[in-house]
């Protein structure tokens, strides 16, 4: 009876795991997310990695966090958490500010010794009072309980301590009524080649669950409402993995092998890691010696008839700029993935921003237009990676995909699509009759102004491509001024015509409102939730989100004509607002900007939008 009185039913709940970089918070959070997704919950995650490499253990600079929201109507990882799991004193100090008033704190009290408090820069021996904590605190001897559970395991002391995160996971699984069977399956997959490690973690997981059951009188448990999912196979997926899988789908749909030429850079490296595993699907993933070699190898692969991709982050995009200009002039399909992070220079490698937009649009010498697209959520990375490849191939142009660290590392529940949900990509092979009659030339154009794409070595399709301007008719090198202008305008118009081949801009929220809240890329979830909150409060707003940036959707001007006030929210100083202002100068685009290496919170968006609407 006591258990029933302590159960709270919630539409959604937010949990934050926090500890040292080596405490396995990302693993514990990911398993909890996967288990929840398998139960039909909507999920959204925010892995918050420290920017420092190997900061001292127990220090404030080395704290790693993982926040996840699960339930119904989930758009973001949440502004504040309902439950904070802090594995040491530093983690509590750094993350208490993220706890919702009245929330629950679970701490490993074994990691709050005098030395731990000193490392975390506490000034007293009463950390909870020092932080002013008045919430429900559950002091759990996680370290001691883990050691006791594995006393007879045969593992060394260091390996035993590595299991502390799984004890905490077991406790949280009890707290939120998650079945252990699903968690055990994920652990078995993780430690498939280390059966002794799996067995130890399985024991500790059960011990954490049992501990929660035994202390149920001192803390509330939660039942999370589940949305009835569309039938299918679901998995938890992060944005970088979804991007890699979208590229593989595009390769299958266009009938050309996938080639990735890349150089490791945070936070894009996971795309290289994932594709390197997929030799079974014919993927060629090459780690090159630098960023320039990465893009140039991809250009060579494209010339040879491969679906060519290069992945990077902001600093690498700058290094690839000359190579992208070559691909523009050669009119080769090339997908450049930029998982944006803080800058300038090497910036904040683990933090998120949207500050590469102008670089993507204009960061090349000469008139070098490229298509630019941006996924909106972790799962949307699959679709937009596919779309980037489709546009690149069918229009014979480089395409830049602007992801970001928030959605690249973040995860959502994803339904694996059926094969027929994505169309065939119409690869522009050279018609045999043109080759037979000798009528083909490298810049012979189709209706959309894209040229044909012969596989290197095709008989009758010998041609020369490069960085020198070519004659529009013959493909021979040309220094004629009029021909250069003609080619520049052709390449520009070719990109502009992509607008006829992309979806129209859709509007959500209150479509009859006077105010249109505008965003692009990975801010979608926060803006969608902010629009819902504003409309509930009687502050009527519509919401338009851009996935296609260059060119803009064909109906953009038509949509804008329906509204009187425009608010553009983005994680930079106003780049997209400036871009829109230059194209629609009859409108005034108000701005909400943030450049702190952190995503928006829904609360700050609501507050700042209300203020702009009142003004």
Asked whether residue 521 is assigned to any structural domain, the reply reads yes
The answer on 102 and 185 residing in a single domain is yes
The answer on 271 and 181 residing in a single domain is no
The answer on 460 and 516 residing in a single domain is no
pLDDT of residue 3: 39
Give the C-alpha separation, 64 to 18, whole Å.
6
Cα dihedral 111/113/116/117 (nearest 10): 120
The answer on 91 and 49 residing in a single domain is yes
What backbone phi and psi angles, to 5 degrees, belong to 356?
A: -105, 10
Across the beta sheet with 507-509, the strand order is 507-509, 541-546, 515-520, 565-570, 589-593
Pick the range with the lowest mean pLDDT from 171-180, 316-325, 496-505, 568-577. Answer: 171-180
CB–CB of 378/239 below 8 Å?
yes
What backbone phi and psi angles, to 5 degrees, belong to 364?
A: -145, 160
Pick the range with the lowest mean pLDDT from 79-88, 220-229, 242-251, 362-371. Answer: 220-229
Q: How many domains does the chain have?
A: 3
Give the C-alpha separation, 92 to 105, whole Å.
9
pLDDT at 17 over 60: yes
**Where a domain ends, among 502, 534, 554?**
502
What is the percent of the chain with per-residue pLDDT over 70, rounded to a whole number?
A: 96
User: Which of 208, 120, 196, 199 shows the shortest CA–CA distance to 164?
Assistant: 208
Does this model's pTM top 0.85? My answer is yes
pLDDT of residue 9: 65
CB–CB of 463/454 below 8 Å?
yes
pLDDT of residue 5: 39
More confident residue, 436 or 280: 280
Give the C-alpha separation, 448 to 472, whole Å.
16
Pick the range with the lowest mean pLDDT from 96-105, 217-226, 393-402, 476-485. Answer: 217-226
Asked whether residue 90 is assigned to any structural domain, the reply reads yes
pLDDT of residue 315: 95
Asked whether residue 214 is assigned to any structural domain, the reply reads yes
The answer on 432 and 417 residing in a single domain is yes
pLDDT of residue 121: 96
DSSP run (H or E) holding 104: strand 99-108
pLDDT at 134 over 70: yes
Give the C-alpha separation, 611 to 21, whole Å.
39
pLDDT at 459 over 90: no
Mean pLDDT (whole number) for 71-93: 94
The answer on 493 and 535 residing in a single domain is no
The answer on 255 and 107 residing in a single domain is no
Give the C-alpha separation, 448 to 450, whole Å.
5
- Structural domain boundaries, residue 577: 507-614
pLDDT at 335 over 70: yes
Mean pLDDT (whole number) for 86-105: 94
User: Which of 39, 60, 67 shows the shortest CA–CA distance to 409?
Assistant: 67
pLDDT at 8 over 80: no
The answer on 268 and 217 residing in a single domain is no
Give the C-alpha separation, 229 to 415, whole Å.
9
Pick the range with the lowest mean pLDDT from 215-224, 254-263, 339-348, 583-592. Answer: 215-224
Mean pLDDT (whole number) for 184-196: 92
Mean pLDDT (whole number) for 52-61: 84
The answer on 550 and 469 residing in a single domain is no
Mean pLDDT (whole number) for 88-95: 96
Give the C-alpha separation, 82 to 222, whole Å.
10
Question: What pLDDT band is residue 227 in, cutting at 50, 70 and 90?
Answer: low
pLDDT of residue 529: 95
pLDDT of residue 53: 73
pLDDT at 170 over 50: yes
Q: With DSSP H G I counted as helix, E B as strand and the rest as coil, what are the percentages for the chain, rounded to 5?
A: 40, 20, 35
Long-range contacts of 457-466 (CB under 8 A, 24+ apart): 458/430, 459/435, 460/435, 460/436, 461/430, 461/435, 465/303, 465/330, 465/331, 465/332, 466/326, 466/329, 466/330
pLDDT of residue 223: 61
pLDDT of residue 435: 87
Give the C-alpha separation, 212 to 226, whole Å.
23
- For 540-551, write each residue's pLDDT tens digit: 999 999 999 999
**Where a domain ends, among 200, 223, 246?**
223
Give the C-alpha separation, 276 to 284, whole Å.
7
The answer on 446 and 516 residing in a single domain is no
pLDDT of residue 2: 32
pLDDT of residue 218: 53
Task: Determine if the peptide bond prior to 150 is cis (ω within 30°).
Answer: no
What backbone phi and psi angles, to 5 degrees, belong to 238?
A: -95, 165
The answer on 368 and 336 residing in a single domain is yes
pLDDT of residue 1: 27
pLDDT at 573 over 60: yes
CATH number (domain holding residue 392): 3.40.50.970
- For 503-531, write each residue's pLDDT tens digit: 999 999 999 999 999 999 999 999 999 99
Asked whether residue 228 is assigned to any structural domain, the reply reads no
CB–CB of 413/447 below 8 Å?
no
Asked whether residue 149 is assigned to any structural domain, the reply reads yes
- Residue 318: exposed, middle, or buried by beta-carbon count in 10 A (0-12, 13-18, 19+)? middle
More confident residue, 304 or 6: 304
**Where a domain ends, among 474, 502, 530?**
502
For the chain, give the mean pLDDT: 93
CATH number (domain holding residue 182): 3.40.920.10
Pairing relation of β-strands 221-224 and 7-10? Answer: parallel
Q: 563 vs 78, 82, 511, 580, 597, CA distance in Å? A: 29, 38, 9, 15, 31
- For 368-381, write each residue's pLDDT tens digit: 999 999 999 999 99
pLDDT at 36 over 60: yes
The answer on 371 and 264 residing in a single domain is yes
């Amino acid at each position: 009876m006591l258990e029933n009185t302590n159960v709270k039913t919630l539409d959604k709940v937010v949990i934050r795991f926090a500890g040292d970089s080596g405490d396995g918070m990302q693993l514990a959070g990911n398993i909890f997310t996967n288990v929840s997704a398998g139960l039909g919950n909507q999920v959204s995650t925010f892995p918050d990695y420290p920017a420092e490499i190997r900061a001292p253990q127990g220090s404030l600079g080395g704290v790693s966090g993982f926040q996840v929201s699960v339930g119904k109507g989930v758009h973001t990882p949440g502004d504040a958490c309902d439950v904070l799991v802090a594995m040491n004193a530093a983690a509590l100090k750094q993350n208490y500010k993220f706890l919702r008033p009245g929330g629950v704190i679970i701490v490993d009290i074994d990691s709050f010794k005098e030395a731990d408090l000193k490392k975390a820069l506490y000034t007293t021996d009463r950390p909870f009072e020092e932080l002013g904590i008045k919430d429900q605190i559950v002091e759990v001897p996680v370290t001691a309980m883990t050691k006791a559970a594995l006393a007879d395991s045969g593992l060394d002391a260091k390996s035993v301590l590595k299991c502390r995160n799984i004890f905490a996971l077991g406790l949280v699984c009890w707290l939120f009524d998650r079945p252990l069977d699903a968690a055990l399956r994920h652990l078995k997959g993780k430690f498939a080649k280390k059966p002794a490690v799996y067995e130890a973690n399985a024991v500790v997981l059960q011990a954490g669950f049992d501990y929660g059951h035994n202390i149920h009188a001192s803390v509330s448990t939660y039942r999370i409402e589940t949305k009835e999912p569309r039938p299918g196979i679901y998995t938890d997926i992060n944005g970088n993995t979804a991007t890699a899988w979208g590229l593989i789908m595009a390769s299958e749909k266009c009938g050309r092998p996938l080639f990735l030429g890349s150089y490791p850079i945070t936070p894009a490296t996971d795309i290289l890691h994932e594709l390197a595993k997929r030799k079974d699907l014919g993927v060629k993933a090459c780690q090159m010696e630098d960023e320039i070699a990465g893009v140039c190898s991809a250009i060579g692969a494209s010339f040879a008839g491969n679906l060519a991709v290069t992945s990077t982050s902001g600093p690498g995009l700058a290094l690839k700029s000359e190579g992208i200009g070559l691909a523009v002039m050669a009119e080769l399909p090339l997908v450049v993935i930029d998982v944006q992070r803080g800058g300038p220079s090497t910036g904040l490698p683990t933090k998120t921003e949207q500050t590469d937009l102008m670089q993507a649009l204009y960061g090349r010498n000469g008139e070098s237009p490229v298509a630019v697209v941006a996924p909106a959520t972790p799962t949307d990375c699959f679709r937009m990676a596919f779309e980037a490849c489709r546009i690149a191939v069918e229009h014979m142009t480089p395409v830049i995909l602007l992801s970001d660290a928030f959605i690249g590392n973040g995860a959502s529940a994803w339904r694996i699509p059926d094969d027929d949900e994505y169309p065939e990509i119409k690869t522009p092979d050279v018609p045999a009759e043109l080759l037979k009659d000798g009528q083909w030339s490298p810049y012979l154009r189709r209706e959309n102004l894209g040229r044909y794409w012969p596989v290197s070595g095709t008989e009758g399709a010998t041609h020369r491509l490069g960085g020198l301007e070519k004659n529009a008719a013959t493909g021979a090198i040309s220094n004629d001024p009029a021909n250069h202008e003609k080619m520049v305008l052709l390449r520009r118009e070719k990109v502009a015509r992509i607008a006829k081949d992309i979806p129209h801009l859709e509007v959500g929220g209150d479509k009859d409102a006077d105010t249109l809240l505008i965003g692009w890329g990975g801010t979608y979830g926060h803006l969608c939730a902010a629009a819902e909150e504003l409309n509930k409060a009687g502050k009527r707003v519509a919401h338009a989100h851009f996935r296609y940036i260059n060119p803009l959707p064909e109906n953009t001007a038509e949509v804008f004509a329906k509204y009187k006030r425009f608010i553009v929210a983005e994680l930079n100083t106003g780049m997209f607002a400036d871009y829109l202002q230059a194209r629609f100068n009859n409108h005034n685009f108000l701005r909400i900007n943030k450049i702190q290496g952190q995503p928006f919170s829904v609360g700050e968006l609501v507050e700042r939008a209300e203020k702009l609407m009142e003004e």
